[in-house]
A = this chain, B = another copy of it.
Amino acid sequence: MPLTAVAGWAAGGATLAETGEADVLRRLVAAARERSAPGLELPAGDDAAVWRPAPGLEVALSQDAIVEGKDFLRDWTTPRQLGRKAVVVALSDLAGMGAEPAWCTASLCAPGSTRLGDVVEIQAGMLDALEAAGCALAGGDVSDIDGPLVIAVGIGGTLEPGQALRRDRGRPGDALLVTGALGRAAAGLRLLRDSPGEARLLSAAEQAWIEAQVAPEARVSEGQALVRLGAEAGGDISDGLLADATWLAEASGCSAELWVDSLPVDADLREAFGGAWAELALGGGEDFELLAAVRPEHLAALLAAWPAQLAPLTVVGRLGDGAGLTVLEREGGAPLPAPPVSSRHYG
């Protein structure tokens, strides 16, 4: 199959311009009210939705936008996958706090030529991801834009007071742990970017990497488990381990070292990308795994108590005194030149 020929965008049907803003919004509000309103006192459709938080809880708040041409291309994704990913990016921030998702709001900016059917599918993807997380679509808007598709998702979740996984709570000596496997979404991105239109059979591994890029999961249960098991420092790995470990160390007033040989990376990814696998795992981003810093005296108990059905934890480094991030071949091994952080934005 051609790597970048994804079916799923409507070839016909009414456009947004033909439908009119009021009717588009009416349709989306009806779907939001029908499929997703757990915990809302007043669902989408008024000036604002109304939500009643359980007494005594704190609320984690975040917002993220994804932009066509920068974060995705239409050729890479179905509209449903796109809506799903927009929500997962936001859910991942809640996962990085250990919060329980409660509600989200969304702004969709789409040109008037966009098919209504595609917008309905984008919202359906959002609702898929939200329902799976027990989260309500509380509202938002649809705007005309003379430019690329933009989806901005605001999100809120609940926390026991003082229980947030914070970037600034690491201490020298803490073990650095990650969930799941790294580099898969970046490998998928590289396949999509480097082989546009190429028609060939994909291996199961290649399909899985592309899936990791266009249909990622957020580690919501893992974030809550980390908090429950006493972790205090951590966050999600949306920008790549290198960048996110740097920020955690910086916020905590520590240095950090990462051990390349310890990184959880699929064997076939190491094989397929030769010398570049470490770059994908360290710098790639978008795996939406979690990073945590755990006191060495708590580490064994946390690993022993880790629920088997969750993504596995791997120790990949350590916080230290001082500042700055070092990449080592292995624990106690030789320092390596840090691969570039492949920021997707602003060159």
Contact = CB atoms under 8 A, between A and B. Distances in A.
A235 interface: yes
Interface in A154-182: 154-157, 159, 161, 164-168
Contact of A96 (B48, B65, B236): B48
Nearest to A164: B50
A62 B49 contact: yes
A85 to B, nearest CB: 14
A289 B64 CA distance: 30
A107 interface: yes
A145 B70 contact: yes
A143 interface: yes
A17 interface: yes
A63 interface: yes
Given A63-B141, A109-B150, A146-B69, A48 B93 contact: yes
A20 B347 contact: yes
A177 B71 CA distance: 46
Interface string A321-347: 000000000000000000000011111
A58 B156 CA distance: 14
Given A107-B64, A164-B50, A145 B147 contact: yes
A223 to B, nearest CB: 9
Interface of A: 16-17, 19-22, 24, 41-42, 45-53, 55-56, 58-67, 69-71, 92-94, 96-97, 99, 103, 105-107, 109, 112, 138-148, 150, 152, 154-157, 159, 161, 164-168, 235-236, 243, 251, 343-347
A43 to B, nearest CB: 11
Nearest to A145: B67
A167 B47 contact: yes
B109 A61 contact: no
Contact of A346 (B59, B144, B165, B345): B144
A304 to B, nearest CB: 27
A159 B99 CA distance: 23
B21 A105 contact: no
Nearest to A235: B47
A344 B17 CA distance: 11
B63 A58 contact: no
A97 B42 CA distance: 11
B99 A48 contact: yes
A268 to B, nearest CB: 30
Contact of A152 (B24, B152, B156, B167): B152
Contacts of A156: 61, 156
Contacts of A92: 47
20 contacts: A20-B343, A46-B96, A47-B235, A48-B60, A48-B61, A48-B164, A50-B59, A50-B164, A55-B55, A55-B56, A63-B107, A63-B141, A65-B152, A67-B143, A107-B107, A109-B150, A143-B150, A144-B344, A145-B148, A147-B147
A63 B106 contact: yes
Q: Which 5 A-B pairs have the closest CB atoms?
A: A147-B147, A154-B154, A152-B152, A47-B96, A63-B105
A152 B51 CA distance: 21
B45 A251 contact: yes
